[in-house]
Amino acid sequence: MAALYPSDSGFLTPPANGSSRAGAVAMYPPPPPAPHRDFISVTLSLGESYDNSKSRRRRSCWRKWKQLSRLQQNMVIFLLAFLIVCGFLSYIHMADQWKALSGKPTEEQKMPEVPGLKPANPPVLPAPQKADASPASSKVLPQRPRKHFRRGPPHLQIRAPNTDSKAGMQDEAKEQAAAPGDVLQDENTQRTVISWRGAVIEPEQGTGLPLRREEAPTKPSLLVTRMQKEAGLPNERQKGVIEAFRHAWKGYRQFAWGHDELRPVSRSFSEWFGLGLTLIDALDTMWILGLKQEFREARTWVSEKLDFKKDVDVNLFESTIRILGGLLSTYHLSGDRLFLRKAEDFGNRLMPAFMTPSKIPYSDVNIGTGVAHPPQWTSDSTVSEVTSIQLEFRELSRLTGVRKFQEAAEEVTRHVHNLSGKKDGLVPMFINTHSGSFTHLGVFTLGARADSYYEYLLKQWIQGGKKETQLLEDYLAAIEGIKTHLMRRSEPRKLTFIGELAHGRFNAKMDHLVCFLPGTLALGVHHGLSADHMELAQALMETCYQMNRQMETGLSPEIVHFNLYPPADDLDVKVKPADRHNLLRPETVESLFYLYRTTGDRKYQDWGWEILQSFNKYTRVPSGGYSSINNVQSPNKPEPRDKMESFFLGETLKYLYLLFSDDPNLLSLDTYVFNTEAHPLPIWAPA
Ligand code: DMJ
């Protein structure tokens, strides 16, 4: 006979000197409440033939049961009953959660299949042959659909992607092994991250630093279910956008996978930073359009191939708005921490740009060596560039709790706020990185090199919960400056437009880039600013539409000149030969989105639909992708430039999709603020 004793692990083990082949079954009771100790034993009878029949097992169980004391029997019965009740309750709870998290498309979520949707007119661009660089051929296609490992702020997730939790964790482990020193990676950091997610977020005061705090966690299952219900099915026009995106993605996937930009005509690619720019810029668009398969595949690339440890110069502004902004918004939408880790890694690598005598950052930085520098010909930086990185750096600090990002970016804002050389709120185009002063004084534009300075004044104010009054004051002053110095009306149609001022001389030239302004003005009104701004927004929107409408292709040129003097001509808009190109830019449709959201006037949707059809007619390349064109005034020979800019997927198609939505809660303007590359970031204290 051998008695068995409970081991440390709770399993029953024989005593040290006992036979390990005891063949006896025994149970040691819990610590003795009873006055006597019960030992249950079975006599070994090795000589007997082994009988493992059911009836014998049943008899022996029954015998053992009878050998238990009344107390033990009651305890066992109680334990079983308890386990059954617990099991039942947790089944109900888990069933709810799995329903919400399973990622199986509900009726509302099912991917729209729109194979029949074709452009109204056949594309005019040629279809030459070229080698295949698709992810399929380079074997990066995911083998099977993955389940999503849900983490991150749940109430910002609009849909549940379908990624495998195990795969997610493996990716994460790999990422952590590969990431540089100060990226979220060690156990301690992980623990901090978990604890800050549990804290209740407060709206941030002014430029104060929010540290490792996030929104109060709400039950993810309920939120995801609610958001799935709200998302709704795409309407016909949205399906048109999805079809356009898929066509663009097809070209990128096949000929430019993992490279910066597709060259759709030559079926090849071009590199700028060598960081998969189009793929990153397009991530959140895929999420918003519900393109799960494409998103999963791109996520795999980010996880396995995207490496910032690279000896390459990047432009601080362009890489911030596209890469940092794209990663941060994708993190917010998906809740997948892979994107936050990548964002923090990238943010760290950009930081040397700020190490200048004035703290005004250099335009370029090598993300591998950490060497930053201005362009070769000057020590100036562009004003819009140094003042349009703040939304992203501030958000990165909020999410990581690392102050330096926000501090560096806000130092620039403070500095520019106090700088002389402005004209009624209007800023010059250049700033010196040594002296910190504006240069090339006396030239004012809302176009290239100044545009997003104005946009980010308003958007930072919104992002921070409308508390940073200096930002608002600078914005309001600038709008007044625009009205006084840059706004005019054309002849004969009296279109309101924004020109430029050079040393007191007005130039009736307007970049298509300026068409961001009606949208920004409307956004300001949505957030409580003067109704006058809406009048100007609507007038400018009409002008931007006419810049498209009056061209033979229905697409705006890069720059127009307005006719100021009657009755010289019946055309308000003139285009110089050097300015006739269209780069698939987003600004007109971006503003149409804001104008429709804030006024509800469907004409803005109709205008956007016309523009999408023009893109399909004149810029679509049959083998996949869209190309910028050289001549918007030549419908028979638009001359493809053989390049699809990353912002066509990051911005243009995203804004079109949102424009055609009738759901104001789809990326609500009260919850999100879009960076200048159309990447939605959360407002810190949503209204
Ligand atoms: C984008 O990169 C951004 O919208 C930027 O603010 C201006 N230029 C392009 C789009 O035109």
Span from the CA of 143 to the centroid of ligand 1 (angstroms): 36
- Residues annotated in a binding site: 676
Number of Cβ within a 10 Å radius of residue 57? 11
Rounded CA-CA distance 59/64 in Å is 9
Ligand 1 atom index nearest CA of 321: 2
Span from the CA of 136 to the centroid of ligand 1 (angstroms): 31
Q: Please tell me the residue having the least CA distance from ligand 1 atom 6.
A: 676
Rounded CA-CA distance 256/524 in Å is 38
* Catalytic residue (choose from 451, 491, 511, 590): 451
- Mutual angle of helices 390-400 and 325-334, in 10-degree steps: 50
Q: H or E segment at 475?
A: helix 469-481
In this prediction the pTM is 0.73
Rounded CA-CA distance 162/139 in Å is 20
- Residues annotated in a binding site for Ca(2+): 676
Per-residue pLDDT at 134? 62
Q: What is the pLDDT of residues 456-487, one digit of tens each?
A: 999 999 999 999 999 999 999 999 999 999 99
The token duo for 621 is 């390349």
Nearest CA-CA partner of 508 in 573, 456, 562: 562
Residue 19 pLDDT grade (very low, low, confident, very high; cuts 50, 70, 90): very low
* Burial per residue of 564-602, b for 16 or more beta-carbon CB atoms within 10 angstroms, e otherwise: eeeeeeeebbbbeeebbbbbbbbbbbbbbbbbbbbbeee
Q: Quick check: helix, strand or coil at residue 553?
A: coil
671 CB contacts (<8 Å, ≥6 apart)?
156, 682, 683, 686
Contact 112, 291 (CB under 8 A): no
Span from the CA of 384 to the centroid of ligand 1 (angstroms): 11
Ligand 1 binding pocket mutation candidate from 324, 446, 459, 651 (most atoms within 8 A of CB):
651
Span from the CA of 676 to the centroid of ligand 1 (angstroms): 6
Nearest CA-CA partner of 189 in 288, 337, 69, 326: 337
Q: What is the pLDDT of residues 385-431, one digit of tens each?
A: 999 999 999 999 999 999 999 999 999 999 999 999 999 999 999 99
Q: Between vectors from CA 568 to CA 567 and to CA 570, what angle results, nearest 5°? A: 75
* Catalytic residue (choose from 558, 572, 590, 651): 558
* Catalytic residue (choose from 204, 318, 385, 645): 318
Rounded CA-CA distance 228/219 in Å is 14
Q: What is the pLDDT of residues 498-547, one digit of tens each?
A: 999 999 999 999 999 999 999 999 999 999 999 999 999 999 999 999 99
The token duo for 549 is 């409408």
451 is catalytic: yes
Averaged pLDDT of the chain: 78
Span from the CA of 358 to the centroid of ligand 1 (angstroms): 26
Q: What is the pLDDT of residues 291-307, one digit of tens each?
A: 999 999 999 999 999 99
Q: What is the pLDDT of residues 50-87, one digit of tens each?
A: 444 555 555 565 677 777 778 888 887 888 888 887 66
Percent of the chain with pLDDT over 70: 69
558 is catalytic: yes
Kindly list the protein residues whose Cβ atom lies closer than 6 A to any atom of ligand 1. Answer: 452, 513, 585-586, 647, 651, 676-677
Ligand 1 atom index nearest CA of 676: 6
Q: What is the pLDDT of residues 590-638, one digit of tens each?
A: 999 999 999 999 999 999 999 999 999 999 999 999 999 999 999 999 9
- Please check the confidence at residue 43 and state whether its pLDDT lies above 50: no
Per-residue pLDDT at 185? 33
Contact 508, 576 (CB under 8 A): no
The token duo for 406 is 């926000």
**DSSP H helices in 320-364:** 325-334, 337-350
